[in-house]
Amino acid sequence: MSPPLTSDLGYVPPDGGWGWAVVFGASISVGFSYTFPKAFTIYFKELQSVFSISYSQLAWITSIMCATTYGGGFHLQIRYAHLQNQDPGIFQPRASQGAPGAHLCPVAMAPHIDAGPVASPPDGGWGWVVVFGAFISIGFAYAFPKGIAIFYKEIQDFFDTSYSEIAWVSSIMLATTYGAGPISSILVNRYGSRPVVILGGLLCGIGMVSAAFCTSIVQLYICVGFITGLGLALNLQPSVIIIGRYFLKRRPIANGLAMAGSPVMLCTLAPLNQFLFDNYGWRGSFLILGAILLHCCVAGALFRPISAGKASVKTQSIEEGKEVLKVVIKDAIEMDSSTNIPKEIKTEEEEEKGCCEKVNKYLDFSLFKHRGFLIYLIGNVLMFLGFFAPIVFLAPYAKHIGIDEYSAAFLLSILAIVDMFARPITGIVANSKWVRPRIQYFFSFSIAFNGACHLLCPLASGYTGLVVYSIFFGLAFGMVCAMLFETLMDLVGATRFTSAVGLVTIAECCTILLGPPIGGTLIDTFGDYKYMFIKCGAVMVLAGTFLFIMNYYNYRMVAKEEKKKKAKEEDPKPVRTENEGRNNWNKEHVQDGPELEPLREEKEGLKKEANGTNEV
C-alpha cells in the first residue's frame, strides 16, 4: 500500500476548488512561455528581407528570448530566497478555513475573501493604484454601451435590420449590466473583488471577440448584449466596493476620481471606434475592442485585498470566540430540550427564520413601505425609459442628416467632456448649504432639464446645432448621474442604502431594456429621428415633474410627522394621565398593592379571633 501523500508546504493543499482556476491561468502562462518563441519564427523570412540580414543574425532573436526566459527563472529563485531570509513573515499565508499557516510564495496565495475582518482603511498608499484600476473598470462599464453605438448604422445595413432591432443590442447590454448587480454583490461577498473583476474582464473580451464572428442579429444580442453586459456588471460593483475598503476620510475624492472614468472613456472610445471601423470594419473593430476590454483583468489584478496579515490576530480571536459561542449555544439547546415545545417545531421555525435572514441579508424588502423610497423608485423607473435612447441614436442621427462619420463621433466626445466637468461641479453645488436640505428638488430639476434638451433637439438642423445640443445634453446628463445615488441615500439613509440600490437597479433594468427599442420603433414607423427625441424628452419632463410634486408632498408629510413627534415630547400629559388611569384601574380590580397587605392581615386576624382560632 502506498504511503499517504504529504506536503512540506506547512498547509494542506485543497486539491480542487479555486485550484482549477489556478490551473487555467497556469495553462495560459506556461503555454505562451513555451510556444511563443517557436511560433514567432514564422515572421523571420519577412524580417530578413526587410532588414537585409543573415539567418544567423535573425536567429539571435529567438536565442536571446529563450535565454532570457530560462535565465530569468533562476533570478526569480534567488529573489525568492533573499526575501524569505529578510522577512519570512511575508510568505505566511492568510488564516483561512481549514488551512493552518505556513510558508507560501506570494504569487500562489489562496484566494482571499474581502468580506472578512479588515483593518482600518489606509486612505492612501496602494489605494491610489486601486483607484486607477477602478477608473478603468468603471469607465468601461459606463462608457462602452454608449461608445459602441457608432457601429450600429453599419451593422444595421449589414444584417438588413430595423432601428428597433439594432437598438436591442444596447438595451440588453445595459439591462444585464444593471440587472446583474445583485449577482455581482454575492460573488464579491464570496470571492472578493479581485477575482470577480478579472472574471468580468474575461467575459467582456470573450463576448466582443465572439461578436466578431456573428452571422445574425440574435447572435449579437447574446455576445454583445448578454455576455459583454454581464462582464461589465462584474466590473462595476466590485470597483465601487473596493474603494470603500481602501478609503474612509478621502473616500469622496477617491470615488470622484474613479467615477470620472466614465466620461473620459467615452471621450476616448468615440473617435477610437470610428478609427477602428474605417481601417478594420466592424468585425475587426470588435476583435480589437475585445482585446482592449481584457485590460479590465489587469485593473482587477490591482485590487489587492486589504485585510492581508493585519487582521490575522483579530481573525484568530473571532474564530476562538465563535468556538466558545458554539459551545454556549449547544448547552443552551440541551437545557431548552426539557421544555414542552417540541424540538421538531423549533427546528422548522429556525430554518424558516434562517431563510428569511439570508434573503434580508442582501435585499431589505421593508423598503417598499418607505414613502420616500417608493417615490424615488417610480420616478427613476419612468426616467430611464428615455434616459439612454438619445445617447444611442445621437451618432446615427448625425449621419442621417448628412454629417460625416468623424464629426458624428466627435459629438459623443463633446458630450463626454462636458459630462466630465459637470459631475464634480454638480456635487459641489448639491453639497452647499442652500441646496443640500432640498436636494430632491435639485434632482427633479436636473431630470426635467434633461428632457427639455431632448425636446429642443429636433430644432437643430445642422452640425452647429447638434454641438450645442451635445453641450447641454452633457451638462444635464452629468447633473443627473452625479445625484442619482446621493438622493437615494438622502432618502433611506446609509445603513439601508445597499439594499435600496439592489432593489432600484432590478426595477430600473426593465425600462432600461425597453427604452432604446421603443425609440427605434418610432424611427422605423415615422422615418424620422425627431419623434424619438420628443418621446424621450416628454418622458423625462414627466418624470421630473412627478418627482418634484411628490417630493414636495413627502417634505410636507415629514415636516408634519416631525412636528407631531416634537409636540408629544414637549407635552406628554395626556399620555401620562391615561397611563395613570390604567394603573389605578389595575390596582382596584386586578390586584392588591403592598399598601393593602396590613388590612388583609387584620381582617383575617379578626375572623380567627371570632372563631377562637387566633394564634399567639
pLDDT at residue 46 in the model: 61
Mean pLDDT for 251-256 is 65
Which residue in this structure is represented by grid cell 475585445? Answer: 290
Provide the CA 49 distance to its chain's centre, in angstroms: 53
Whether the predicted pLDDT of 76 surpasses 50 = no
Banded model confidence at residue 588, pLDDT cuts 50, 70, 90 = very low
Split at pLDDT 50, 70, 90, the class of 467 is very high
| Grid cell in block for residue 451 | 428632457
Report which secondary-structure segment, H or E, holds 78: helix 55-86
108 or 305, which is more confident? 305
Average pLDDT over residues 457-486: 87
Query: What per-residue confidence (pLDDT) applies to 205?
Result: 93
pLDDT in tens, 210-250: 999 988 889 999 999 899 999 998 888 788 778 767 876 66
Rounded to an integer, the average pLDDT of 490-519 is 76
175 or 616, higher pLDDT? 175
**Alpha-carbon gap, residue 438 to 256, rounded angstroms:** 22
Question: Contact, 519 vs 165, CB < 8 A?
Answer: no
Position 564 pLDDT exceeds 90: no
Domains 112-305 and 364-575 share a fold: yes
272-284: pLDDT as tens digits: 888 888 888 888 9
The whole-angstrom separation of Cα 252 and Cα 29 is 38
Assigned C-alpha cell, 141: 462599464
400: Cβ contacts below 8 Å, ≥ 6 apart: 529
Higher pLDDT, 148 or 476: 476
428/477 Cα distance (integer angstroms): 16
SS3 state at 96: strand
* pLDDT at position 104: 38
The pLDDT assigned to 552 comes to 92
Phi and psi torsions of 99, nearest 5°: -135, 105
**373: which residues sit within 8 A by CB, 6+ positions away?**
367, 488, 491, 492, 500
Provide the CATH number for the domain formed by 112-305 in this structure. Answer: 1.20.1250.20
- CATH number belonging to domain 364-575: 1.20.1250.20
CA atoms within 13 A on the CB side of 614: 13
For residue 99, the cross-strand partners are: 96
Please give the pLDDT value at position 7: 47
* Span between the terminal Cα atoms of the chain, in Å: 92
Lowest-confidence region among 426-430, 522-526, 563-567, 577-581: 577-581
> How many other C-beta atoms are found inside a 10 Å radius of the C-beta of residue 291?
12
CA–CA dist 138, 236 (Å, integer): 5
Q: What sign does the CA torsion over 566, 569, 570, 574 have?
A: positive
- Helix, strand, coil shares of the chain as percentages rounded to 5? 80, 0, 20
Question: What pLDDT does residue 61 have?
Answer: 64
Extents of the domains making up the chain: 30-92, 112-305, 364-575
Q: State the alpha helices, DSSP H only, in 497-614.
A: 497-526, 530-570, 573-589, 597-611
